[in-house]
Amino acid sequence: MTETIGVLQTRLPDHEGLLLCLDFDGTLAPIVDDPEEATITPTNAELVERLRGAPGIKLAVVSGRGLEDVRDRVDVSDVTYAGNYGIETDHGDGDIEVHPEAEAAEPVVEEVRTRLEDELADEDGVAVEDKRWTTTVHFRRAPDRAEAVTERVEAVVDEHGDDQLVTASGRAIVEIKPDVETNKGEVVDAFAAAADGYLPMYVGDDVGDRSAFEAIASAGGVSVYVGDEDIGATATVESPEEVAALLRWLADDGVSYIGGNDSDRPQ
């Protein structure tokens, strides 16, 4: 975390604000076997609330979860939320915008989801999650079945996806989503373009965050990976607890570095 703070101390004085984009699972909330039981840590909830109103901070939560799901789990208003890898967005006013091509593909997604529920009913430890515009198959509780489950999912999508859907693998999951040009990187690009003069920053933990890290690199921002893999991030932290420590530094001290105004900076 010291590395991340050092980078921010150097970069923030040259910007009028910080665009802080946060993943949910594995970042604000610990990874758990049952995704329905994922909960933001109390400390991270408190700090997201503090940062929401901090001067010079624009805050966004960017998740693969459905938007209403992640918004309910974070439970902080007046924050920008992007769900389903950017298929749906709430810019803090409570109204949800849905990618029109994804909206058009909803009947096909529903058909494939229903068939997957039937196809995978015999797989112990495997769950099919309905995210309306997308579907996620979870096999964290059945790691030995990962390859077989993935093959079964791909077969169903190939047969019934009507050439409108694609699959993508993540950490103990397979995502089934409309074949549209949207991912976390596209989301970060759009948010950064709307926050001119702000330093873009992204914190995430999964392969689904790679596109966001690439977008941050292209924008000259700061990316933080939660874990110990080398996936091209600016810096790393070890856990959601270390994410909390980073957010606390931002709330307590980091805002004083924004724009080169050091009047409130700790000495």
Return all residues near 194 (Cβ < 8 A) that are at least 6 apart.
none
Integer-rounded Cα radius of gyration of the chain: 19
Q: What is the DSSP string of 246-260?
A: HHHHHHHTGGGGGGG
Whether 209 sits among the annotated catalytic residues: the reply is no
Write down the residue that tokens 């933990």 correspond to: 205
Alpha carbon distance 10, 2 (integer Å): 12
The sheet with strand 97-98 has its strands ordered as: 97-98, 88-90, 80-83, 57-62, 17-22, 198-204, 222-226, 235-237
Catalytic residue among 23, 69, 189, 206: 23
> What does each C-alpha distance from 88 to 94, 162, 211 come to in angstroms?
12, 22, 17
Alpha carbon distance 48, 16 (integer Å): 20
Alpha carbon distance 186, 192 (integer Å): 10
Residues serving a catalytic function are: 23
